[in-house]
Structure 1
Amino acid sequence: MSISNTFKEFCQSIKLVDNNVWTNRFKRITKKINEKYYDNPDDDSGHRLRVGSTGRYTATSDASDYDLLYSLPWSTYDRFDSHEHGQSDLLQEVKKCIKETYSKTDISADGQVVDVNFNNGLIEVVPAFENDDKSFQYPDTHKGGSWKTTNPRPEKDQCKDDDSNSAGTFRDLTRMIRVWKNHQGFVFQGILIDTLVHNFYKENKDDVNSLSYSSYPQLMYNLFQYLSKQDSDQTFWHALGSNQLIEVKDKHFIKKAEAACNSLDGIDMDDEDEVLDTFKSLFGYQFSKVANNSNASSNEEFASSFFRSIDIQGTFDIKCVVKRKGFRNHSIAFFKDNYSALFKSSQLVFCVENEKFPEKYEKSKVTYYWKIRNYGTEARKAECLRGMIKKGERTHIETTRYTNMHHYVECYAVVDDIVIARTKVIVPIGEE
């Protein structure tokens, strides 16, 4: 398949498309809220605003979280503002209201939202109050409770304008960056992605507006360069459209973008095989299946299709101890540095450590899955090519058997069938 057709099909395949199941859920929740707060049980669309990445339509096709902001009457604000724990009480009342419609659904209220947890995704309901300038006040239960301000409409409008002016390229870029960060396994806030792509677009508007799909590899290279040159000491950015502050603690995207540039440096952008192979490594299975990756093992499983969704929100490390007769226990790095590879018949003990997940993900809820991927003639002859994803524990043990420098172990931290973090360890195995 040509470069142009591959990128065209890939961008179409990762495009967020609304479906009736979710639309009907939005309507049912809206109808119930409007019945309670506006005495209008027939209104299934009013006072609702879709926000977040799905509201800006920059999310990918496997999005599992939908953010809905509901504008409530100011009389409701006055009623709860006088409470000692008004923000928490408001969330609990909205939770109770939605529970009347979804009585058997897991619904929780904490922080800033009411979470409606379905078996195939989540709706986050934000009760809010519209200000004269079209921004919104919303509750925050942290640190004793307070009212905070958000202004999502200009952000939605800016995304819509950029996408229209670029004939769809803007949202293509935001979605491809999301696929990249989820495959590479690092945290990159959705609003920051959209903001940085917007800033890149502003600086390259004339070039971007005249591009075709055949130019997407070079365009992505240019975008990776732009991301790699962001200031690692910068602590906040101004959101597109609204100019709201985006506080950023995790800036792994800068080094990851630099690595992406390095992988693209030196390849011939007109060489179909070189380009597609490189972007397979950057984007993973979602791109490979469009590009007809004939090298994939027939029994290999991929996180993108195995789990409901990938939404990287945290990080963890894998420590690997190599146990080998005649040696002290060492790390993989020791053998790579001193022998270039591991020896056969070594025992490998992989262990999860240094988890950094959002507070809402308690450790007891996180489940770990492991993928052992091996390559090479020896493994193929022994009919032991592997690539299956299996549920496991925080510790996983393997034995080195087949020579190849590209074997790897990947681990996924999963909550409710959503990958929230992933990491990978290359396991080169050489001859004695």
Structure 2
Amino acid sequence: MSVSSVFQEFCQSIKLVDKVTWTNRFKRITKKINEKYYDNPDDDSNHRLRVGSTGRYTATSDASDYDIILELPWETYDRFNSHEHGQSDLLQEVKSCIKETYSKTDISADGQVVDVNFNDGLIEVVPGFENHDKSFQYLDTHNGGSWKTTNPRPEKEQCKNDNDNSSGTFRDLSRMIRVWKNHQGFVFQGILIDTLVHNFYKENEDDVNNSSYSGYPQLMYDLFQYLSEQDLEQTTWHALGSNQEIKCKDNHFIKKAKDACNDLDEIDLNNEDEVLDIFKSLFGYRFSKVADNSDSANEEEFASSVFRSINIQGTFDIKCTVNKDGFKDHGMAFFVQYFSALLKSSKLIFSVQNEDFPDRYKNKKITYYWKVRNYGPEARNANCLRGEIVKGDRTHIETTKYTNMHHYVECYAVYDGVVIARNKVIVPIGDS
């Protein structure tokens, strides 16, 4: 397939399309809210606003978390604002209301949202009160309770305008950046992605508007270059459309974008084979599948196909302790420094450390899965290229057997079928 055909099919494959199942769930929840708070049991569409990446339609096709604001009447605000714990009481009332419709579904309430957990995804319901300027007042139960303001409508409108003006390229870019960050395994907020893609678009409007699928490799290179030039010290950004503050505690995307630029600098962007190969490494299985990656063994498994969704929201480190007869236990770097690679017949103990997940996962059971991938003629001849994804725990043990400098071990932190963090270590093995 040509570069143009691959990017066209790839962008179509990651496009978010509303499913009837989810639409019906939104309607059922809305209908129950309108029955209780507006005395209108037949209304399943009003007083509901889709927000977040799925509301801006910049999410990818495997999205399984949906955010909606349900507008409540101001008399409800007055009723609960006088309570000592008004925000918490209101959130629990909305939870109980939804529970009447979904009595057998796992529903929880904390912070600003009611989480309606289905077996194939999550709806986060935010009770809100619409202000005169179309923004929303919403509750926060933390730190004794408070009211906050959000203004998602201008963000939705700006995304739609950018996408219309660019004939769909804006959302293509936003979705490709999401696939990239999920494959590379780092945190990059959805609203910040859309904001930076918007800023890039404003600075390169003609190039974006006039780009065809055959020009997407160059356009992605230019976007990576733009991301790589952002200020590492910047901690606050202003959202597209609304100008609301976006807090960003780290800027991993800048280094990752520099790495992507360095990879792309190594190839000829006019060579279609080189272009497809490099974007397979940048985007992973979802792109490789479209590009028909014949180099992948049939038995190899990929996170994108094994798990329900990939939505990187946290980080962890993988520590590798090497146990080799005749040596004290050392980290991998010791053997790479003194021997250029690990020695055969070494015992490798991989362990998950320094987890950093959002508060919503506190006290939740995170499951860890591991993947070992071998390369080279020794592993191939032994029929041990491997590549399966197996359920494990925080520690995983392997033994070095086959010479190659590109073996790797990857770990996935999974909650409710969604990969929320991933990390990967290269395992170079020399000929002892």
Is TM more than 0.5 here? yes
Between the aligned partners of 2:84 and 2:10, the Cα distance in structure 1 is: 52
Residue 326 (structure 1) shift = 1.1
SS, match of residue 99 in structure 1 = helix
SS, match of residue 134 in structure 1 = coil
> Partner residue of 1:54?
54
> Partner residue of 2:63?
63
Q: 1:282-293 residue pairs with structure 2 within 5 A?
A: 282-293=282-293
> Partner residue of 2:295?
295
1:115-134 superposed Cα distances (whole Å, 9 cap, x missing partner): 00000000000000000000
Alignment partner of 1:336 is 2:336:
yes
Q: 1:89-238 residue pairs with structure 2 within 5 A?
A: 89-238=89-238
Do 2:235 and 2:250's aligned partners in 1 also have CA atoms closer than 8 Å?
Answer: no
1:363–1:375 Cα change, 3 Å:
farther
Do 1:115 and 1:122's aligned partners in 2 also have CA atoms closer than 8 Å?
Answer: yes
Residue 359 (structure 1) shift = 1.1
Letter in 1 for 2:255: K
Between the aligned partners of 1:401 and 1:192, the Cα distance in structure 2 is: 44
Between the aligned partners of 2:155 and 2:59, the Cα distance in structure 1 is: 14
> Partner residue of 1:408?
408
Between the aligned partners of 1:196 and 1:379, the Cα distance in structure 2 is: 43
Residue 250 (structure 1) shift = 1.9
Between the aligned partners of 1:333 and 1:264, the Cα distance in structure 2 is: 27
Residue 364 (structure 1) shift = 4.8
Q: 1:356-375 residue pairs with structure 2 within 5 A?
A: 356-362=356-362, 364-375=364-375
Residue 254 (structure 1) shift = 0.6
Residue 378 (structure 1) shift = 1.0
Structure 1 window deviating more from structure 2 (184-193 vs 361-370): it is 361-370
1:297-316 superposed Cα distances (whole Å, 9 cap, x missing partner): 11100000100000000000
Do 1:188 and 1:250's aligned partners in 2 also have CA atoms closer than 8 Å?
Answer: no
Alignment coverage as a number of residue pairs: 432
Alignment partner of 1:308 is 2:308:
yes
SS, match of residue 388 in structure 1 = strand
Q: 1:13-24 residue pairs with structure 2 within 5 A?
A: 13-24=13-24
SS, match of residue 115 in structure 1 = strand
1:322-362 superposed Cα distances (whole Å, 9 cap, x missing partner): 11111111111111122111111000000100000011113
Runs of at least 4 residues of structure 1 off by over 6 A?
A: none
1:9-42 superposed Cα distances (whole Å, 9 cap, x missing partner): 0000000000110010001001000000000000
> Partner residue of 2:378?
378
> Partner residue of 2:388?
388
SS, match of residue 68 in structure 2 = strand
1:361-396 superposed Cα distances (whole Å, 9 cap, x missing partner): 135511100001111111111111200000001011
Between the aligned partners of 1:366 and 1:285, the Cα distance in structure 2 is: 24
Between the aligned partners of 2:194 and 2:314, the Cα distance in structure 1 is: 19
Between the aligned partners of 1:261 and 1:220, the Cα distance in structure 2 is: 9
Do 1:53 and 1:191's aligned partners in 2 also have CA atoms closer than 8 Å?
Answer: yes
> Partner residue of 1:251?
251
SS, match of residue 10 in structure 2 = helix
1:380-414 superposed Cα distances (whole Å, 9 cap, x missing partner): 11111200000001011000011111100000001
Between the aligned partners of 1:97 and 1:363, the Cα distance in structure 2 is: 26
Between the aligned partners of 2:254 and 2:375, the Cα distance in structure 1 is: 31
SS, match of residue 318 in structure 1 = strand
Residue 266 (structure 1) shift = 3.2
Between the aligned partners of 1:317 and 1:183, the Cα distance in structure 2 is: 16
Between the aligned partners of 1:422 and 1:323, the Cα distance in structure 2 is: 25
Letter in 2 for 1:345: S
1:119–1:152 Cα change, 3 Å:
same
Between the aligned partners of 1:385 and 1:374, the Cα distance in structure 2 is: 5
1:425–1:195 Cα change, 3 Å:
same
Structure 1 window deviating more from structure 2 (395-404 vs 357-366): it is 357-366
TM-score, scaled to structure 1 = 0.99
> Partner residue of 1:263?
263
SS, match of residue 406 in structure 1 = strand
TM-score, scaled to structure 2 = 0.99
Do 2:157 and 2:241's aligned partners in 1 also have CA atoms closer than 8 Å?
Answer: yes
Unaligned 5+ runs, structure 2: none
Between the aligned partners of 2:233 and 2:309, the Cα distance in structure 1 is: 32
> Partner residue of 1:4?
4
**RMSD over aligned Cα, in angstroms?**
0.7
1:321–1:363 Cα change, 3 Å:
farther
SS, match of residue 234 in structure 2 = coil
Letter in 2 for 1:5: S
Letter in 1 for 2:135: S
Do 1:313 and 1:358's aligned partners in 2 also have CA atoms closer than 8 Å?
Answer: yes
